[in-house]
Amino acid sequence: MKLQSIVAITITTFLLLTSQLQAADWERSIDTNLMFTQNSYSDNWSGGESGSVTWTFNANLKAQKPLSEKVHNKNTLKLSFGQTHSQDGATKDWQTPVKSTDLIDFESLFRFTLGLIVDPYAAARLETQFLDVSDPSKHRSFNPLKFTESVGIAKVLIKDVEQELSTRVGFGFRQVLNRDQLNEWGVREDKNIHDGGIEFVADYASTLFEKKLGLASKLGLFKAVYYSEANTLKGKPNEDDWQAVDINWENRISAGITQYIAVELYLQLLYDKEVNLAGRLKQTLGMGLTYKFL
Protein backbone atom coordinates (compact mmCIF):
# COMPACT_ATOMS: atom_id res chain seq x y z
CA MET A 1 0.00 0.00 0.00
CA LYS A 2 1.41 3.37 -0.99
CA LEU A 3 1.68 6.31 1.37
CA GLN A 4 -0.98 8.23 -0.58
CA SER A 5 -3.45 5.37 -0.03
CA ILE A 6 -2.66 5.22 3.68
CA VAL A 7 -3.21 8.97 4.09
CA ALA A 8 -6.44 8.80 2.09
CA ILE A 9 -7.82 5.93 4.19
CA THR A 10 -6.85 7.69 7.43
CA ILE A 11 -8.49 10.98 6.42
CA THR A 12 -11.62 9.26 5.07
CA THR A 13 -12.07 7.18 8.23
CA PHE A 14 -11.50 10.23 10.40
CA LEU A 15 -14.01 12.39 8.48
CA LEU A 16 -16.69 9.67 8.48
CA LEU A 17 -16.37 9.13 12.23
CA THR A 18 -16.37 12.88 12.86
CA SER A 19 -19.59 13.37 10.90
CA GLN A 20 -21.29 10.49 12.71
CA LEU A 21 -20.31 11.79 16.14
CA GLN A 22 -21.49 15.30 15.32
CA ALA A 23 -24.85 13.93 14.22
CA ALA A 24 -25.46 11.94 17.38
CA ASP A 25 -25.91 12.95 20.99
CA TRP A 26 -22.48 11.84 22.24
CA GLU A 27 -20.08 13.21 24.79
CA ARG A 28 -17.14 13.35 22.45
CA SER A 29 -13.61 14.60 21.87
CA ILE A 30 -11.46 14.53 18.74
CA ASP A 31 -7.81 15.61 18.97
CA THR A 32 -5.35 15.57 16.09
CA ASN A 33 -1.74 16.57 15.72
CA LEU A 34 1.06 16.48 13.16
CA MET A 35 4.47 16.32 14.84
CA PHE A 36 7.90 17.02 13.32
CA THR A 37 11.57 16.60 14.27
CA GLN A 38 14.30 17.65 11.82
CA ASN A 39 18.04 18.06 11.39
CA SER A 40 20.21 18.31 8.26
CA TYR A 41 23.82 18.84 7.14
CA SER A 42 25.30 20.51 4.06
CA ASP A 43 27.21 18.55 1.40
CA ASN A 44 30.58 19.80 2.67
CA TRP A 45 29.96 18.76 6.29
CA SER A 46 32.64 16.34 7.52
CA GLY A 47 32.44 13.70 10.22
CA GLY A 48 29.86 11.27 8.78
CA GLU A 49 26.81 12.89 10.40
CA SER A 50 23.49 12.44 8.62
CA GLY A 51 20.33 14.49 8.76
CA SER A 52 16.82 13.23 9.29
CA VAL A 53 13.20 14.36 9.21
CA THR A 54 10.54 12.49 11.16
CA TRP A 55 6.84 13.26 10.93
CA THR A 56 3.93 11.61 12.75
CA PHE A 57 0.19 12.11 12.40
CA ASN A 58 -1.97 11.20 15.42
CA ALA A 59 -5.73 11.22 15.85
CA ASN A 60 -7.46 10.35 19.12
CA LEU A 61 -11.22 10.03 19.09
CA LYS A 62 -13.47 9.34 22.07
CA ALA A 63 -17.26 9.09 22.18
CA GLN A 64 -19.42 7.96 25.07
CA LYS A 65 -23.03 8.18 26.18
CA PRO A 66 -25.73 6.26 28.08
CA LEU A 67 -27.62 4.10 25.60
CA SER A 68 -30.30 3.55 28.24
CA GLU A 69 -30.72 3.95 31.99
CA LYS A 70 -28.58 0.87 32.61
CA VAL A 71 -26.22 0.68 29.61
CA HIS A 72 -23.29 3.04 29.02
CA ASN A 73 -21.16 2.84 25.89
CA LYS A 74 -17.64 4.25 25.45
CA ASN A 75 -15.71 4.10 22.17
CA THR A 76 -12.07 5.06 21.62
CA LEU A 77 -10.08 5.13 18.39
CA LYS A 78 -6.37 5.86 18.03
CA LEU A 79 -4.80 6.36 14.61
CA SER A 80 -1.07 6.99 14.11
CA PHE A 81 1.24 6.93 11.12
CA GLY A 82 4.69 8.39 10.61
CA GLN A 83 7.87 8.16 8.58
CA THR A 84 11.56 8.96 8.98
CA HIS A 85 13.55 10.43 6.09
CA SER A 86 17.34 10.08 6.48
CA GLN A 87 20.42 11.38 4.68
CA ASP A 88 23.27 9.16 3.57
CA GLY A 89 26.21 9.84 5.89
CA ALA A 90 28.71 10.00 3.02
CA THR A 91 26.84 11.53 0.08
CA LYS A 92 24.24 13.51 2.09
CA ASP A 93 21.61 12.30 -0.39
CA TRP A 94 18.15 11.70 1.06
CA GLN A 95 17.22 8.04 1.15
CA THR A 96 13.88 6.29 0.78
CA PRO A 97 11.75 6.98 3.88
CA VAL A 98 11.02 4.22 6.35
CA LYS A 99 7.99 3.77 8.59
CA SER A 100 8.47 4.99 12.16
CA THR A 101 4.94 4.77 13.62
CA ASP A 102 1.88 2.78 12.59
CA LEU A 103 -1.21 2.05 14.69
CA ILE A 104 -4.94 1.45 14.41
CA ASP A 105 -6.55 0.77 17.80
CA PHE A 106 -10.33 0.72 18.27
CA GLU A 107 -12.17 -0.34 21.43
CA SER A 108 -15.85 -0.36 22.32
CA LEU A 109 -16.80 -0.80 26.00
CA PHE A 110 -20.31 -1.47 27.31
CA ARG A 111 -20.77 -0.90 31.04
CA PHE A 112 -24.01 -2.02 32.72
CA THR A 113 -24.96 0.34 35.56
CA LEU A 114 -27.18 -1.81 37.74
CA GLY A 115 -26.74 0.14 40.97
CA LEU A 116 -24.14 -2.28 42.34
CA ILE A 117 -20.75 -1.45 43.87
CA VAL A 118 -19.16 -2.47 40.57
CA ASP A 119 -20.57 -2.56 37.05
CA PRO A 120 -20.50 -5.60 34.76
CA TYR A 121 -18.90 -4.85 31.40
CA ALA A 122 -18.33 -6.32 27.96
CA ALA A 123 -15.66 -4.99 25.60
CA ALA A 124 -14.32 -5.62 22.12
CA ARG A 125 -11.01 -4.33 20.73
CA LEU A 126 -9.27 -4.40 17.36
CA GLU A 127 -5.55 -3.62 16.98
CA THR A 128 -3.70 -3.53 13.66
CA GLN A 129 -1.56 -1.27 11.47
CA PHE A 130 -1.90 0.34 8.06
CA LEU A 131 1.14 -1.38 6.54
CA ASP A 132 3.08 -4.45 7.72
CA VAL A 133 6.69 -4.27 6.43
CA SER A 134 8.10 -7.09 8.58
CA ASP A 135 8.41 -9.27 5.46
CA PRO A 136 10.61 -7.49 2.87
CA SER A 137 9.32 -9.71 0.06
CA LYS A 138 5.66 -8.84 0.62
CA HIS A 139 4.18 -5.79 2.33
CA ARG A 140 0.71 -6.51 3.73
CA SER A 141 -2.02 -3.99 4.52
CA PHE A 142 -3.88 -4.15 7.86
CA ASN A 143 -1.77 -7.04 9.17
CA PRO A 144 -1.64 -8.64 11.66
CA LEU A 145 -5.15 -8.36 13.06
CA LYS A 146 -5.53 -8.73 16.83
CA PHE A 147 -9.01 -9.11 18.31
CA THR A 148 -9.78 -9.05 22.04
CA GLU A 149 -13.17 -9.77 23.62
CA SER A 150 -13.58 -9.50 27.38
CA VAL A 151 -16.22 -9.55 30.12
CA GLY A 152 -15.95 -8.75 33.79
CA ILE A 153 -16.53 -5.97 36.32
CA ALA A 154 -15.63 -2.28 36.07
CA LYS A 155 -15.52 0.70 38.41
CA VAL A 156 -15.30 4.42 37.68
CA LEU A 157 -13.19 5.73 40.57
CA ILE A 158 -12.95 9.41 39.57
CA LYS A 159 -15.01 11.44 37.11
CA ASP A 160 -15.23 15.22 37.02
CA VAL A 161 -14.61 18.04 34.56
CA GLU A 162 -10.80 17.73 34.82
CA GLN A 163 -10.09 14.03 35.21
CA GLU A 164 -11.44 10.52 34.87
CA LEU A 165 -10.08 7.26 36.26
CA SER A 166 -11.65 3.88 35.59
CA THR A 167 -10.54 0.31 36.17
CA ARG A 168 -11.80 -3.07 35.10
CA VAL A 169 -10.90 -6.71 35.59
CA GLY A 170 -12.30 -9.70 33.76
CA PHE A 171 -11.70 -12.65 31.51
CA GLY A 172 -10.55 -12.01 27.95
CA PHE A 173 -10.09 -13.94 24.71
CA ARG A 174 -7.47 -12.85 22.16
CA GLN A 175 -7.07 -13.91 18.54
CA VAL A 176 -4.17 -12.89 16.28
CA LEU A 177 -4.50 -13.42 12.53
CA ASN A 178 -1.27 -13.10 10.53
CA ARG A 179 -2.09 -13.28 6.81
CA ASP A 180 0.20 -14.63 4.08
CA GLN A 181 2.96 -15.54 6.52
CA LEU A 182 5.88 -17.63 5.30
CA ASN A 183 6.04 -20.97 7.11
CA GLU A 184 9.16 -23.09 7.66
CA TRP A 185 8.78 -24.67 4.20
CA GLY A 186 8.63 -21.30 2.42
CA VAL A 187 4.89 -21.50 1.74
CA ARG A 188 2.60 -18.59 2.50
CA GLU A 189 -0.38 -19.30 4.74
CA ASP A 190 -2.69 -17.57 7.19
CA LYS A 191 -1.71 -18.23 10.80
CA ASN A 192 -4.28 -17.84 13.55
CA ILE A 193 -3.29 -18.16 17.21
CA HIS A 194 -5.50 -17.50 20.22
CA ASP A 195 -5.41 -17.50 23.99
CA GLY A 196 -7.56 -16.69 26.99
CA GLY A 197 -6.89 -15.33 30.43
CA ILE A 198 -7.33 -12.62 33.06
CA GLU A 199 -7.44 -8.97 31.95
CA PHE A 200 -6.86 -5.84 34.01
CA VAL A 201 -7.12 -2.30 32.60
CA ALA A 202 -6.68 1.08 34.31
CA ASP A 203 -7.47 4.16 32.22
CA TYR A 204 -6.72 7.72 33.35
CA ALA A 205 -7.15 11.07 31.58
CA SER A 206 -6.74 14.61 32.88
CA THR A 207 -6.68 18.16 31.56
CA LEU A 208 -5.19 21.10 33.47
CA PHE A 209 -4.63 24.83 33.06
CA GLU A 210 -7.75 25.42 31.00
CA LYS A 211 -7.08 22.32 28.89
CA LYS A 212 -3.62 23.53 27.84
CA LEU A 213 -1.96 20.52 29.49
CA GLY A 214 -3.25 17.02 28.90
CA LEU A 215 -2.25 13.70 30.43
CA ALA A 216 -3.47 10.27 29.38
CA SER A 217 -2.27 6.98 30.82
CA LYS A 218 -3.52 3.46 30.15
CA LEU A 219 -2.18 0.32 31.81
CA GLY A 220 -3.17 -3.08 30.47
CA LEU A 221 -2.22 -6.43 32.01
CA PHE A 222 -3.06 -9.85 30.60
CA LYS A 223 -2.31 -13.21 32.23
CA ALA A 224 -2.95 -16.09 29.83
CA VAL A 225 -4.24 -19.38 31.24
CA TYR A 226 -4.83 -21.01 27.86
CA TYR A 227 -2.77 -20.85 24.65
CA SER A 228 -3.52 -22.60 21.35
CA GLU A 229 0.18 -23.29 20.66
CA ALA A 230 1.04 -24.68 24.10
CA ASN A 231 1.37 -28.29 22.90
CA THR A 232 3.81 -27.37 20.13
CA LEU A 233 6.10 -25.67 22.68
CA LYS A 234 6.36 -28.61 25.08
CA GLY A 235 9.95 -29.65 25.73
CA LYS A 236 11.37 -26.37 24.42
CA PRO A 237 13.22 -23.80 26.60
CA ASN A 238 10.43 -21.26 26.05
CA GLU A 239 7.53 -23.64 26.66
CA ASP A 240 6.20 -21.60 29.62
CA ASP A 241 6.85 -18.08 28.28
CA TRP A 242 3.21 -17.68 27.21
CA GLN A 243 2.14 -17.87 30.88
CA ALA A 244 4.01 -14.66 31.82
CA VAL A 245 1.97 -11.48 32.33
CA ASP A 246 1.83 -9.24 29.24
CA ILE A 247 2.14 -5.50 29.97
CA ASN A 248 1.13 -2.55 27.80
CA TRP A 249 1.55 0.83 29.53
CA GLU A 250 0.95 3.95 27.43
CA ASN A 251 1.53 7.53 28.59
CA ARG A 252 0.90 10.70 26.63
CA ILE A 253 1.61 14.27 27.82
CA SER A 254 0.67 17.19 25.57
CA ALA A 255 1.20 20.88 26.24
CA GLY A 256 -0.33 23.62 24.11
CA ILE A 257 2.06 26.48 23.36
CA THR A 258 -0.53 28.33 21.29
CA GLN A 259 -3.97 27.37 20.03
CA TYR A 260 -2.49 25.42 17.11
CA ILE A 261 1.06 24.54 18.24
CA ALA A 262 1.81 21.90 20.85
CA VAL A 263 4.58 19.76 22.29
CA GLU A 264 3.85 16.09 22.92
CA LEU A 265 5.72 13.37 24.79
CA TYR A 266 4.70 9.74 24.28
CA LEU A 267 6.06 6.82 26.31
CA GLN A 268 5.07 3.18 25.88
CA LEU A 269 6.33 0.17 27.80
CA LEU A 270 5.61 -3.24 26.32
CA TYR A 271 6.47 -6.56 27.91
CA ASP A 272 5.72 -9.87 26.22
CA LYS A 273 8.10 -12.65 27.26
CA GLU A 274 7.44 -14.51 24.01
CA VAL A 275 8.74 -11.51 22.04
CA ASN A 276 11.55 -10.15 24.21
CA LEU A 277 12.75 -11.06 27.69
CA ALA A 278 13.82 -7.49 28.53
CA GLY A 279 10.71 -5.66 27.42
CA ARG A 280 10.44 -2.84 24.90
CA LEU A 281 10.30 0.93 25.42
CA LYS A 282 9.10 3.50 22.88
CA GLN A 283 9.61 7.23 23.40
CA THR A 284 8.76 10.08 21.05
CA LEU A 285 9.00 13.80 21.64
CA GLY A 286 7.89 16.27 19.03
CA MET A 287 6.48 19.69 18.29
CA GLY A 288 3.89 20.38 15.65
CA LEU A 289 0.43 21.45 14.67
CA THR A 290 -2.56 20.42 16.73
CA TYR A 291 -6.30 20.90 16.35
CA LYS A 292 -9.27 19.93 18.52
CA PHE A 293 -12.41 19.37 16.46
CA LEU A 294 -14.65 18.90 19.52
- How does pLDDT run across 219-259, given as a tens digit for each residue? 999 999 999 999 999 989 999 999 999 999 999 999 988 88
Quick one: pLDDT at residue 1?
46
Quick one: pLDDT at residue 46?
58
- The end-to-end CA distance of the chain, in Å, is 31
What average pLDDT does the segment 280-292 reach?
84
Instruction: Given CATH 3.40.50, say whether it is the number of domain 65-75+98-292.
Output: no
DSSP type of residue 257: S
R_g over Cα of the chain: 21
Quick one: pLDDT at residue 23?
54
The C-alpha torsion from 138 through 142 and 148 to 149, rounded to 10°, is: -130
Q: Which helix (H) or strand (E) holds 287?
A: strand 280-292
**What is the value of pTM for the model shown?**
0.85
Give residue limits of the domains in the chain. Answer: 65-75+98-292
Quick one: pLDDT at residue 149?
96
Cis peptide before 120 (omega within 30 of 0): no
Three-state SS at 97? coil
Give the E-state strand segments of 40-159 in sequence order: 52-66, 71-86, 98-112, 119-128, 131-132, 140-141, 145-159
The one-letter code for the residue type at 214 is G
